[in-house]
Amino acid sequence: MMPILHLDFGKRLPKLSIILWYKHPGECIGALDRTRECGEQGGMNKQKLIGQEPVSLATVAAQAGVSVATVSRIVNGETRRASAETVERVQKIVAALGYRPNHVGRTLRRRESRVVAMLSPNLDNPAMAAIAASVETALRSAGYVMILCDTHDRADLQDEYLHVMRSQVVQGYIVVNPVRSEALSASVSRGDPIVFVGRRNPDGGGAFVGIDNRRAGRDAADHLWARGIEEFGVIYPTQGSSATRDRVGGFITRLEELGLSDEAVRQAEAPGLSHLEVGYAAAQRLVNGHSWPQGLFCPSDLMAYGAYRLALETKVRIPEDCRVVGVDDNKLNAWIAPWLTSVHIPYADFGAKVLDQLQSLWAGEYPSEQLLPHTLIVR
Amino acid sequence: MMPILHLDFGKRLPKLSIILWYKHPGECIGALDRTRECGEQGGMNKQKLIGQEPVSLATVAAQAGVSVATVSRIVNGETRRASAETVERVQKIVAALGYRPNHVGRTLRRRESRVVAMLSPNLDNPAMAAIAASVETALRSAGYVMILCDTHDRADLQDEYLHVMRSQVVQGYIVVNPVRSEALSASVSRGDPIVFVGRRNPDGGGAFVGIDNRRAGRDAADHLWARGIEEFGVIYPTQGSSATRDRVGGFITRLEELGLSDEAVRQAEAPGLSHLEVGYAAAQRLVNGHSWPQGLFCPSDLMAYGAYRLALETKVRIPEDCRVVGVDDNKLNAWIAPWLTSVHIPYADFGAKVLDQLQSLWAGEYPSEQLLPHTLIVR
DNA sequence: CTGAAAGCGCTTACAG
DNA sequence: CTGAAAGCGCTTACAG
């Protein structure tokens, strides 16, 4: 499709050599603002496709017969400071050459980018993927792009990413389910714009987007209680995050308030990072030697799935023998887990809130917490 | 924790003003290589945290009493070209100041970055999230970072992102399930390094990572056939991608080869982007006025989930009344969808293959296709 | 209304 | 072994 131009200069052309490619006089269809060494490619001789080299401000300026300063202003919408003819001519050439500002040059000069880093543990978790999707959409609508970093819930990876992102001159950080780490504390002390999502800042303080996890646990307790259930169970991961602890804590506290004794609320935990497996293992411990409780609270849907598998294997019927309440309300529940009541977390709304928080931080406002409303979805 | 220094200069300091902060003589604990205007912050007076400003090469060089060129070389591991003492002194100061190279400056100068753009439709889809997670991990291990762009399967968004990514001077593109678009064709003609995943380049050609979709469909057919099934059904989205078409095509072709007549293989389609809803709607059309087929092939697990919901609602038992085969083998199947046989796609291995492909492209090799093995997981 | 010039942080031939 | 200098692409006071 594209015509191929054979170029074979012995040396680099001097700076600012500009090659323009015309279809007809007056209709420029491509430009190189410099030639560069072209390595051998697939055994062919040195060659270059027209237009392969991005067009720079200098090319546009040369074409238009104005200075780069003028082009820069016009490209940035500062059209009042140039004559109407100049503006039009430049805009025409910008369009013809398909000029797009190089954000790297701009970032270096302005000392600010339109890039935000998002650190998330295991994207594999549908809840994390939902947050990522929502944040990405919100950022795009505000003209930002997102570098996604999967920390695998590891402090060392979180630190590495924080360092690398700083090198990339990102404009802000979104840390989903942070873990305590050196670089994170340093970043916070430095006053970097950073929004915590899901779990709070392990060192306390900072901007936060999430739900009222204690309240979510209480709501789960109330729901089961209202169903007349008398024997309760709750399972959780040994290495619980603040979010998990709050959910479980709220659940148990509420049952105590309702007058339940300790033995009416059985608890079990299991180690591990995969909530699926933790749910399975913890459920095993919970029912070890006992029957299943009438009502089981799992601080995440994935844990509920883990428990469900054990129920299947042991021929316990869910929800007939044991009502299960999860948290997250995975989108798939409505389709394939009709046995699971779950606390819906409005992940789809997280993106907008996270953006709000970032913009507040950029405006120099004091960090705040944004708690979004959750809803119990009864199935 | 961090000490606060009140700075109130009437004007900017001249370039290269350097403020170093010592705890004891000889032990530098922070540095500003320039002061900048500090806006009012929360009503407090102008102030700055020590170390807030990133340390530049110039700062390190000044501290070490050498040129930036020398520091640059050492930081980049070119230690043979400096005396051992110099290297040691510089490295010590780099460590003390916590210097990290600014990748923006480096990118501008080298005209290459360590950033790769990944364009994906709906991250909401667990299969897409799995690919993103896998690619992210592979890129990180090779020292790259990933900008994630959610195109929502829309050509206009895909184009916008391709343009913005070019502005960001990304080093390569990974396009999952591409759609035909202007900027994509332009990017391909330009010779940009771009790897297609899942679906092929709509214009043909290019580097590709995926599975043999026709074969996957054939395997599904063979599985159901071997179970003695005689009435088959298949559902698919009206706006099918090449991947979907190939899966369905393989399925039907194989059944024809086995001697099945057209009426023994019922087909139904439904419009939409959400495979969950497409699956539900298409299943409705499939069984409209008929009984369910004995075996149903769905070109994605999500479509199978959609069909499952209809089965639940209409009291059809899966798999007793109808065996369902999906594609993707969602991780959750093993836990909560034990009724679903599915073609497992090794998404976890995609990342490494995608990286291979990118590196080939960077090395100037001719683009190729990488087909990964799939497996039928029978449940 | 427009442009020359400095500079963002870095790299890299080139000269010594 | 080391440094001065040019330059990546852009922006922005400043001067005219």
Q: To which residue do tokens 């792009």 refer?
A: A145
Distance, CA of B115 to CA of B314 (rounded, Å): 50
A264: CB within 7 A of chain C nucleic strand: no
Does A199 map to a domain? yes
The yes-or-no verdict on residue B331 having pLDDT over 80 is yes
Identify the residues numbered 73 to 112 in chain B whose C-beta atom is closer than 7 Å to any atom of strand D.
Answer: 80-83, 85-86, 105, 108-109, 111
Average pLDDT over residues A185-212: 95
Could you say which of B46, B66, B101 is where a domain stops? B101
Query: Per DSSP, what are the bridge partners of residue B197?
Result: B176, B209
Q: Share the mean pLDDT of chain B.
A: 88
Structure tokens at B11: 């004007």
Q: Which domain holds residue B49?
A: 4-101
The yes-or-no verdict on residue B193 having pLDDT over 70 is yes
Do residue B242 and residue B292 come from a single domain? yes
**Chain B: residue nearest A279 by CA?**
B335
The yes-or-no verdict on residue A14 having pLDDT over 80 is no
Per-residue confidence (pLDDT) for residue A16, from 0 to 100: 32
Do residue A85 and residue A65 come from a single domain? yes
Asked if B324 and B340 count as a contact pair (C-beta separation under 8 A), the reply is yes
Per-residue confidence (pLDDT) for residue B53, from 0 to 100: 81
Band of pLDDT at residue B34, cut at 50, 70 and 90: very low
B63: CB within 7 A of chain C nucleic strand: no
For D9, which residue's CA is nearest its C1'? A105
**Alpha-carbon distance values, B155 to A108, A152, B172, B204, B241 (Å):** 31, 32, 19, 17, 13
The yes-or-no verdict on residue B329 having pLDDT over 90 is yes
Does B206 map to a domain? yes
Q: Is B123 helix (H, G, I), strand (E, B) or coil?
A: coil
Could you say which of A45, A72, A101 is where a domain stops? A101
Do residue A364 and residue A337 come from a single domain? no
A108: CB within 7 A of chain D nucleic strand: yes
- Decide if A191 and B52 are in contact by the 8 Å CB cutoff: yes
Does B118 map to a domain? yes
Task: Dump pLDDT digits (tens) for A122-179.
Answer: 999 999 999 999 999 999 999 999 999 999 999 999 999 999 999 999 999 999 999 9
Percent share of chain B, pLDDT over 90: 81
Percent share of chain A, pLDDT over 70: 86
Phi/psi for A152 (5° steps) reads 50, 30
Do residue B338 and residue B354 come from a single domain? no
Reference B236, options B264, B253, B259, B217; nearest CA is: B217
Band of pLDDT at residue A52, cut at 50, 70 and 90: low
A359: domain CATH number is 3.40.50.2300
Per-residue confidence (pLDDT) for residue A81, from 0 to 100: 84
The type of residue at B8 is: D
Q: Greater confidence, A42 or B292?
A: B292
Do residue A38 and residue A15 come from a single domain? yes
Distance, CA of B31 to CA of B69 (rounded, Å): 20
Per-residue confidence (pLDDT) for residue A3, from 0 to 100: 33
Q: Greater confidence, A259 or A4?
A: A259
Q: To which residue do tokens 């209709």 refer?
A: A27
Does A293 map to a domain? yes
Least confident segment among A39-43, A306-310, B80-84 = A39-43
Q: Report the relative pairing of strands A232-237 and A369-372 from DSSP bridges.
A: unpaired
The yes-or-no verdict on residue B35 having pLDDT over 60 is no
A42 CB burial (10 A radius; 0-12, 13-18, 19+):
exposed
Task: Dump pLDDT digits (tens) for B139-165.
Answer: 999 999 999 999 999 999 999 999 999
The type of residue at A134 is: S
Do residue B258 and residue B319 come from a single domain? yes
Does A106 map to a domain? no
Residues of A in contact with B364 (CB under 8 A): 39-42
Do residue A205 and residue A217 come from a single domain? no
Q: Share the mean pLDDT of chain A.
A: 88
Q: Greater confidence, B42 or B231?
A: B231
Query: Per DSSP, what are the bridge partners of residue A175?
Result: A119, A196
Number of A–B residue contacts, CB under 8 Å: 160
Distance, CA of B142 to CA of B148 (rounded, Å): 17
Q: Is B16 helix (H, G, I), strand (E, B) or coil?
A: coil
Do residue B327 and residue B352 come from a single domain? no
Distance, CA of B285 to CA of B249 (rounded, Å): 19
Do residue B146 and residue B223 come from a single domain? no
Give the helix/strand (H/E) hosting B315.
none
Q: Which nucleotide is nearest to B64 (CA to C1')?
A: D2
Q: Tell whether the torsion through CA atoms of A234, A240, A241 and A246 is positive or negative.
A: positive
B83: domain CATH number is 1.10.260.40
Does A378 map to a domain? no
Helices (H), chain B: 57-64, 68-75, 84-97, 103-110, 126-141, 155-167, 182-190, 213-226, 242-257, 275-287, 301-313, 333-336, 347-362
Does B377 map to a domain? no
The yes-or-no verdict on residue A19 having pLDDT over 80 is no
- Decide if B338 and A163 are in contact by the 8 Å CB cutoff: no
Least confident segment among B50-64, B86-100, B249-263, B343-357 = B50-64
**Alpha-carbon distance values, A248 to A221, A283, A360, B367 (Å):** 10, 15, 32, 53
Does B107 map to a domain? no
Do residue B117 and residue B206 come from a single domain? yes
Do residue A155 and residue A46 come from a single domain? no
The yes-or-no verdict on residue A289 having pLDDT over 90 is no
The yes-or-no verdict on residue B3 having pLDDT over 80 is no
Distance, CA of A172 to CA of A358 (rounded, Å): 7
Do residue A225 and residue A313 come from a single domain? yes
Into how many domains does chain B fold? 3
